[in-house]
Amino acid sequence: MSLIILGIETSCDETAAAIYSQQHGALSNELFSQVDLHKEYGGVVPEIASRSHIEKINFIVEKALKKAGKVLEDIDVVAVTHRPGLPGSLLIGVCFAKGLAWAQQKKIIGINHLEGHVFSSFLDNKPPFPHICLTASGGHTAMYLVKGFGDYQLIGQTLDDAAGEAFDKIAKLLDLPYPGGPVIEKLAREENFQDYFHYPRSTADSLDFSFSGLKTAVLYDLVKKGAYELKAKKQSSLLTEKLKREVASSLLVAIKDIFIKKIKLALTQNPDIKAVTFVGGVACNKFIKNAFAEFCKEHNLNFFSPAPQFCTDNAAMIALVGNYKAKHNLFSDYSLDIF
């Protein structure tokens, strides 16, 4: 029997639902992005996020069903992100999924959001095992050794800020809008990705990441240039558009270098690796993606990065993991909670 899975994702600031068919893959992938609601605060406000999830979830699930040409009765399994994430946001998805599964007498599976990202590259590709997966988003930055579906191991992670968080926080320093990643990439392109200021790259021989030092380096460099007033915590008139572009460009090159260095080290420690995958919101970055593709080509490795709609938070990746868990009878019950 070919199962139909409804995926639900509400771990942060996207209300998402998708329908996944065991036979045909993702049939729909719908979401409501709250970016505009959080923009004026320069980051996600948890209370606003959970309220918005309540308002949108019904509509988004209906939209996903309609787009896939399915009705609730066609669904066999409800797969829902139950950790990690903002507690108030996760609760909306989990309670909604439990209610729906109970009312319709469907099976339910709780999915780890990060496992969703790790296997998101299978939504539009078939990366061989074993491979290294670099997950970089606003909330997480981690490297995994992936040996099979459900068989993966954390080999490195950020000790402080996530890579996306670094883009977002530095964008705020530069008085640029949230989320910072896309706008920093745009400004960096206008400077031809030149490395003007050579911000520090970690020299540690470890697979762990650290991005908070990068933020501090940018901050003090701006202060030194007179472009940021530390006491008043605000930009001065010396923060010109040209300087913004130069900082953005140097930052992007620094983050690319850090990623490549960590992947290189991971490959030396795991010589049987067949491919590298790059997932999460930061994987929308074409400059970093191209650098990875080039690096992998030079090292005779396959490289995979999902289409942008599968890089940022989405429910299709949650439904995909739900699919292989269902195949192995790894169901949850109604005691499913958010931790």
For residues 96 and 211, which CB has a smaller minimum distance to ligand KG4 in the complex? 211
Judged by beta carbon distances under 5 to 8 A according to partner kind, the member of ligand KG4, Zn ion, none in contact with residue 110 is none
Q: State the Cα–Cα distance between residues 228 and 269, nearest whole angstrom.
A: 42
Position among 7, 42, 110, 138 found at the interface with ligand KG4 (CB under 6 A): 138
The two three-digit tokens of residue 15, written as one number: 């209300």
Judged by beta carbon distances under 5 to 8 A according to partner kind, the member of Zn ion, ligand KG4, none in contact with residue 188 is none
Position among 7, 93, 127, 181 found at the interface with ligand KG4 (CB under 6 A): 181
For residues 77 and 313, which CB has a smaller minimum distance to ligand KG4 in the complex? 313
Least distance to Zn ion, CB of residue 267, Å: 25
Please choose, out of 89-97, 161-169, 195-203, 318-326, the segment that lies near ligand KG4 by the rule CB under 6 A: 161-169
The two three-digit tokens of residue 91, written as one number: 């609760």
Burial of 116 (C-beta count, 10 Å sphere; 0-12/13-18/19+): buried
Least distance to Zn ion, CB of residue 140, Å: 6
Using rule CB under 6 A, residue 12 touches ligand KG4: yes
Using rule CB under 6 A, residue 228 touches ligand KG4: no
In the complex, the residues that contact Zn ion under the rule CB under 5 A are: 137, 313
Judged by beta carbon distances under 5 to 8 A according to partner kind, the member of ligand KG4, Zn ion, none in contact with residue 84 is none
- Scanning residues 238 to 297, which ones bind ligand KG4 (CB under 6 A)? 280-282, 284-285
Q: DSSP letter string over 226-237?
A: TSEETTTTEE-T
Residue owning tokens 């890579």:
163
The sign of the torsion formed by the CA atoms of 196, 217, 189, 282 equals positive
Burial of 2 (C-beta count, 10 Å sphere; 0-12/13-18/19+): exposed
Give which of 16, 81, 109 is closest to 325, Cα–Cα.
109
Residue type, 101: A
Using rule CB under 6 A, residue 43 touches ligand KG4: no
Least distance to ligand KG4, CB of residue 43, Å: 9
Position among 93, 127, 156, 164 found at the interface with ligand KG4 (CB under 6 A): 164
Give which of 316, 290, 305, 48 is closest to 178, Cα–Cα.
48
Judged by beta carbon distances under 5 to 8 A according to partner kind, the member of ligand KG4, Zn ion, none in contact with residue 85 is none
266's CB contacts (< 8 A; 6+ apart) are 132, 143, 145, 155, 156, 207, 273
Specify the pairing of strand 302-304 against strand 25-33: unpaired
The two three-digit tokens of residue 176, written as one number: 């640029």
Least distance to Zn ion, CB of residue 85, Å: 8
Least distance to Zn ion, CB of residue 74, Å: 28
Give which of 186, 137, 180, 195 is closest to 162, Cα–Cα.
137
Least distance to Zn ion, CB of residue 242, Å: 33
User: What residues pair up with 234 in beta bridges, in sequence order?
Assistant: 229
Using rule CB under 6 A, residue 179 touches ligand KG4: yes
The two three-digit tokens of residue 86, written as one number: 């903002």
Give the total of residues touching ligand KG4 (CB under 6 A). Answer: 19
Judged by beta carbon distances under 5 to 8 A according to partner kind, the member of ligand KG4, Zn ion, none in contact with residue 282 is ligand KG4
CA 324 to chain centre: 21
- Scanning residues 201 to 220, which ones bind ligand KG4 (CB under 6 A)? none
- Scanning residues 301 to 320, which ones bind ligand KG4 (CB under 6 A)? 312-313
Chain residues binding ligand KG4 by CB under 6 A are: 12, 137-139, 164, 167-168, 179-182, 185, 280-282, 284-285, 312-313
